[in-house]
């Protein structure tokens, strides 16, 4: 591939990329590829003495190490992204890639170089495990709430029809149930024989493990996830492994869970999301990521980015208006409600009882918007 200096390495040469990641977060997912413990692929600019390397986990997570001063590399990387990463990622049924960069300033360099691809920088919280802090709450965390029990994940639980989401997550990171059961750990909290919370290890590498957790919305706030984290921590330490945690900065519940179970916040790193389908990506980030985490400024900005890229539906403009109201921008909320009317909003008057728009209804522009709505309805 003359257009790119990055070439795919043979698995036997993967570890030659390791020195380039010295000083980088010891993410088990990345190191699992380099250590041959999970599927993935590694690219480098030289098979023996690389100066730049990319580790792809065959999930959305991609890790890049390069020299920030090497401008020609980053100019070529744009073509590499379009001609290698995009088609391969789409073949893996991915919608976007999340790029972890070393050193950190590469994220901003690449955001400029890849600007036509509409990349987005998203910060992530990093942590280190503090055993003393964990031990101070150990007895409480290892208790099991009355009427519930914890089981290790097995084939019966994974293949149970009501646990499809868990099975999909395990297959996404491990490729097969057999590989997961052989190399990983997982736990489920059961109430009346129904799984109401689960934790599984996404990856094991660099003598560490990284988990993922979920709790049924009806059971949140009961401390179930913290009990599963404690069960995982116990097994992880017993095997001589390092508990690892990272989460998106907007995911405040995940950070609280980490800090409740012995992890110390170490600061943020900036990740670079590269969407394959930019309109759908920004729309989805607004609706299903920022809004659900009450990150209204980010949700509003993500909606506006999507609107610049394609045609949305009335519900998108309505949600954008609500996000702008929460962000303290009533005029921008009005603009989006008018967009919603223009795109076929069926019942503006239903918003009269919506708490998010209480302040908006006090403005004279609200009456003008209603008049505009009625004129639009009559003309249609």
| Domain limits, CATH 1.25.40, in the chain | 278-379
What's the number of CA atoms in the CB half-sphere (13 Å) around residue 302?
Answer: 27
Residue 371: the pLDDT is: 84
Q: Please tell me the predicted confidence (pLDDT) of residue 197.
A: 97
Q: How many helices (DSSP H) and strands (DSSP E) are in the chain?
A: 16, 13
CATH 3.40.630.30 maps onto the chain at 129-259
Residue 359 has pLDDT above 90, yes or no: no
Mean pLDDT for the stretch of residues 336-341:
91
pLDDT of 1: 40
Question: Is pLDDT of 3 > 70?
Answer: no
Own/partner contacts of 337-344, CB < 8 Å, gap of 24 or more, are: 337/369, 338/369, 338/372, 339/307, 340/314, 340/315, 341/314, 341/369, 341/372, 341/373, 341/376, 342/376, 343/311, 343/312, 343/313, 343/314, 343/317, 344/313, 344/314
Q: Is the pLDDT reported for residue 331 higher than 70?
A: yes
The set of residues, in sequence order, having a beta carbon less than 8 Å from that of 144 and lying 6+ positions away, is 150, 227
Q: What is the pLDDT of residue 2?
A: 41
**pLDDT value of position 75:** 83
Percent of the chain with pLDDT strictly greater than 70: 97
Burial 305-327 (b: 16+ CB within 10 A, else e): bbbebeebebebbbbbbbbbbbb
Its CATH architecture, for the domain 278-379, is Alpha Horseshoe (1.25)
pLDDT at 380: 59
- What rounded mean pLDDT belongs to the chain? 93
Q: Edge-to-edge strand order for the sheet containing 194-205?
A: 148-152, 186-191, 194-205, 208-215, 242-243
- The yes-or-no verdict on residue 271 having pLDDT over 80 is yes
Look at residue 131 in the predicted model and tell me its pLDDT. 97
- pLDDT tens-digit series, residues 70-90: 988 988 899 999 999 999 999
Per-residue pLDDT band at 12 (split at 50, 70, 90)? very high
CA distance 26 to 208: 8
So what's the pLDDT on residue 106?
96
Tens digits of residue pLDDT in 193-250: 999 999 999 999 999 999 999 999 999 999 999 999 999 999 999 999 999 999 999 9
Q: What is the pLDDT of residue 379?
A: 67
Superfamily of domain 129-259: Gcn5-related N-acetyltransferase (GNAT) (3.40.630.30)
Question: Given this model, what pLDDT does residue 356 score?
Answer: 81
- Mean predicted confidence (pLDDT) in 162-167: 92
Q: What is the mean pLDDT of residues 291-303?
A: 96
Q: What is the CATH number of domain 7-118?
A: 3.40.630
Using 50, 70 and 90 to split pLDDT, how confident is the model at 277?
very high
């Amino acid at each position: 591939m003359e257009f790119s200096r990055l070439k795919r390495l043979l698995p036997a040469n993967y570890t030659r990329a390791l020195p380039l990641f010295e000083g980088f977060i010891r993410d088990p997912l990345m190191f699992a590829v380099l250590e041959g413990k999970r599927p993935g692929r590694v690219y480098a600019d030289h098979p023996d003495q690389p100066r730049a390397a990319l580790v792809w986990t065959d999930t959305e997570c991609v890790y890049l190490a390069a020299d920030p001063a090497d401008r020609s590399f980053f100019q070529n990387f744009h073509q590499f992204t379009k001609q290698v990463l995009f088609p391969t990622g789409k073949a893996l049924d991915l919608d976007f890639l999340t790029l972890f960069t070393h050193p950190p300033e590469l994220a901003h360099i690449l955001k400029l170089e890849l600007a036509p691809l509409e990349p987005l920088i998203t910060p992530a919280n990093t942590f280190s495990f503090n055993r003393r802090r964990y031990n101070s709450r150990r007895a409480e965390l290892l208790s099991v709430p009355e009427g519930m029990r914890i089981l290790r994940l097995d084939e019966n639980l994974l293949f149970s029809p009501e646990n499809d989401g868990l099975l999909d997550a395990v297959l996404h990171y491990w490729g097969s149930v057999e590989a997961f059961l052989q190399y990983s750990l997982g736990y489920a909290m059961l109430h009346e024989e129904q799984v109401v919370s689960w934790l599984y290890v996404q990856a094991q590498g660099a003598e560490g493990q990284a988990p993922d957790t979920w709790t049924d919305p009806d059971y949140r706030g009961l401390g179930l996830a913290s009990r599963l984290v404690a069960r995982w921590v116990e097994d992880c330490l017993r095997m001589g492994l390092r508990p690892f945690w990272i989460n998106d900065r907007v995911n405040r519940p995940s950070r609280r869970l980490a800090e409740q179970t012995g992890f110390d916040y170490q600061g943020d790193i900036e990740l670079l999301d590269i969407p394959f389908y930019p309109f759908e990506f920004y729309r989805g980030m607004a609706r299903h990521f920022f809004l659900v985490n009450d990150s209204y400024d980010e949700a509003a900005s993500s909606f506006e980015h999507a609107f610049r890229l394609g045609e949305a539906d009335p519900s998108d403009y309505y949600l954008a208006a609500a996000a702008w109201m929460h962000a303290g921008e009533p005029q921008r909320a009005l603009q989006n409600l008018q967009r919603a009317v223009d795109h076929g909003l069926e019942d503006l008057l239903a918003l009269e009882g919506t708490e998010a728009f209480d302040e908006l209804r006090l403005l004279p522009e609200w009456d003008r918007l209603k008049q505009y709505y009625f004129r639009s309805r009559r003309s249609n």
